[in-house]
Amino acid sequence: MLRYVTQLTLISLFAIASIGFLSAGTIDARIWEKFEDLAVNKDVRVDTTPGVRVVVQLKNNAVRTAGDQSPEDLAQQCEGAQNDFMDALRGAGLSKMNKDGKQDRFEVAVMLEYQYAVAGYALDEEAVKELAQLPQVEAVQLDVLNKLFTVEGRQITGSTQAASSGYTGAGVGVAVVDSNYDLLHPELGGSTNLPNSVVKGGYNFSSNNNSIHSRNQQDCYHGTGVASIVRRYAPQSDLYTLVVFPNAYDSNIAAAINWAVTNRNGTGGGAPIKVVTMSLGGGRYNGSCNSGVIHTAAGNALSNGIIVLAASGNDGWVGSTASPSCSSNIISVGSVWDANNAGYSPFPPAYCSDNNRRVDERTCYTNTSSVLDIYAPSEQVMCARCGGGTNALGGTSSACPAAAGMVAQLLDANSSYAGNKAAVLNVFQSTGANVAGDSGKKRINILAAIGGGGTTGGDGGDGGDGGDGSTGCSGDAYAGSLSGGNDSDVQPNGTYYQATRSGTHRGTLSGPSGTDFDLYLYKWNGSWQQVASSTSSNSNETISYNGTSGYYYWRVSSYSGSGSYDLCLDTP
């Protein structure tokens, strides 16, 4: 992740943990702390508007369930409630120039389009108290300011082969919520006149719709890199670039997600928006964080066919993740090493060290907990560099757009996944590679996911002979473990391999006694097709399959039992 004042790689929320949804008329205690910080010049932010920025939650802000009304109807209802609130503001003298010439005591910044909420700046503590007393107000919450944090997986995920087979993300729009972008870079279309060939639209929520383009490294290196990673995975997807930094308050991020909903059918001739990616995170949550304006905005996006992803964070926590990735409306993405012995230098805040870095091992800095959903490759990820050329981007900042690009590829292959977070995660989990260091979690294998895990087609090969239990290996040796019935691994190392000529593919599986592990071989032919299997009643299996050139992978599955196994592979 990436801190705004440094040069690392994920955008992070240095948010204090949310106190949850507040009861009617209550005030978030963190607001008083912010006023104290202002009094002693400890509050660090970019904007110079006096006061503390807050979110005023209005009454009747129940979360809409999918299908009960259109987004346009919801927006109209919210606008009516916001107009009533503005009338009450003026009636209370909170939004009217005082006789002595002083400014408004509450200055509106954002009217959230699909929420009963208004964000703005309260000039003093008395203004906050008066806001809470208005009959339209449910609660006054701190609008958390998010800060930039700092800290080649396309092959191992099968993304390159999926793209070469026609699954390029065509027809899918991806909204990137980040910093500024170098629109002059060829990977982002090479033109600041939108729409261009890559970026079809965008908006600057940080600075009153100032330009989304920049060539200032501090402003645009992160957004430029993140956006280009999406396109490197999904090379024919359309991008929508949304700026929320440096004034990345929760309300601005929610407004960016709302923009994606409003423009869900696409702008500038671009494809419909089906994915939102946010390499941002912060705060520390041991479980889910299902409250606040970002959570609500992401839920509305899901209801309108848009999958939202966020990075889990780079603090190195085990048992905790950052907000907003801990929202149940958002897919939380962690990172695995994309190469054995990948180059790496410890960075803040984790300052951790992985001495035995290997493919598909959880990076030591990745935050993980029960709410983390999926992993994607990171670290030496080549991407567009602000100002031209390329550079490497690491951290969960690069894993999240990689996952977003693969979601776009999945939607290109099967549009029924649109807005179906559970189905997307189910296919990624059932076809993904095991993650070392986070048992039960998977790293996306998009080629297997598009093929549905290779469950159809194929001629069954010769079926194997059940194996003889031999532990000797004259080919390449692999090891793994299965946690129980229906658990499975993809080999070699969670990915596929290419056979450049015809020949015999041999696999010998040796598993623990008292278990029943089975062995399968799949080949790519527009989709993954099972071509051979060995399914005896024990865990010693052998397959010998004569095949033509092409792409293959092996799957080890547990019919019953758990434990470690060894797999020996000989390929043409």
The answer to whether residue 23 scores a pLDDT higher than 70 is no
The answer to whether residue 283 scores a pLDDT higher than 90 is no
Mark whether 372 and 412 lie in a shared domain: yes
Sign of CA dihedral 149, 140, 287, 486: negative
Mark whether 169 and 269 lie in a shared domain: yes
Q: Provide the pLDDT for residue 151.
A: 46
Rama region for 101: left / alpha / beta (φ>0; ψ in -120 to 50; rest): left
Say how far apart CA 51 and CA 38 lie, in whole Å.
Answer: 8
| Residues acting as catalytic residues | 178, 222, 397
Task: Please tell me whether residue 364 adopts helix, strand or coil conformation.
Answer: coil
Task: Please tell me whether residue 10 adopts helix, strand or coil conformation.
Answer: strand
Contact (Cβ atoms closer than 8 angstroms) between residue 409 and residue 233: yes
- The arithmetic mean of pLDDT across residues 520-528, rounded, is 84
Confidence of residue 218 (pLDDT cuts 50, 70, 90): confident
Mark whether 306 and 251 lie in a shared domain: yes
The answer to whether residue 3 scores a pLDDT higher than 50 is no
Q: What are phi and psi of 225, to 5 degrees?
A: -65, -45
- Which DSSP letter does residue 188 get? G
Q: Provide the pLDDT for residue 14.
A: 32
Query: How many Cα atoms sit within 13 Å of 273 on the Cβ side?
Result: 33
Contact (Cβ atoms closer than 8 angstroms) between residue 224 and residue 188: yes
Enter the tokens of residue 80: 């009516």
Alpha helix ranges (H) inside 94-216? 125-133, 153-156, 159-164
Residue 130 belongs to what domain range?
17-143
Give, rounded to a whole angstrom, the gap between the first and last alpha carbons of the chain.
42
The CATH number given to whatever domain includes residue 516 is: 2.60.120.380
Q: Domain for residue 470, yes or no? A: no
- Helices 250-262 and 71-91 pack at an angle, to 10 degrees, of 140
Mark whether 297 and 364 lie in a shared domain: yes
Q: Provide the pLDDT for residue 403.
A: 97
Residue in the structure block whose two tokens are 């919520």: 177
Name beta bridge partners: 243: 178, 204
Mark whether 482 and 361 lie in a shared domain: no
Enter the tokens of residue 262: 């409003």
For the entire predicted model, the pTM comes to 0.75
The answer to whether residue 205 scores a pLDDT higher than 60 is yes
- Which DSSP letter does residue 66 get? T
Mark whether 111 and 221 lie in a shared domain: no
Say how far apart CA 428 and CA 270 lie, in whole Å.
Answer: 27
DSSP characters over 517-537: EEEEEEEESSSEEEEEEE--S
Q: Provide the pLDDT for residue 20.
A: 36
Quote the mean pLDDT of the chain.
84
Name beta bridge partners: 249: 145
Name beta bridge partners: 518: 557
Q: Domain for residue 49, yes or no? A: yes
Enter the tokens of residue 365: 């800095």
**Based on the structure, what is the number of domains in the chain?**
3
pLDDT in tens, 270-279: 999 999 999 9
The answer to whether residue 565 scores a pLDDT higher than 50 is yes
Sign of CA dihedral 394, 368, 376, 169: negative
pLDDT in tens, 394-446: 888 899 999 999 999 999 999 999 999 999 999 999 999 999 889 889 999 99
Confidence of residue 485 (pLDDT cuts 50, 70, 90): confident
The answer to whether residue 87 scores a pLDDT higher than 80 is yes
Enter the tokens of residue 441: 């979690």
Domain C-terminal end among 110, 125, 143: 143
Q: 145-170: buried (b, 16+ CB within 10 Å) or exposed (e) per residue?
A: bbbbbbbebbebbbbbbbbebebbbb
Mark whether 481 and 403 lie in a shared domain: no
- A 10 A CB-CB count for 208 gives 8
- A 10 A CB-CB count for 422 gives 8
Mark whether 134 and 152 lie in a shared domain: no
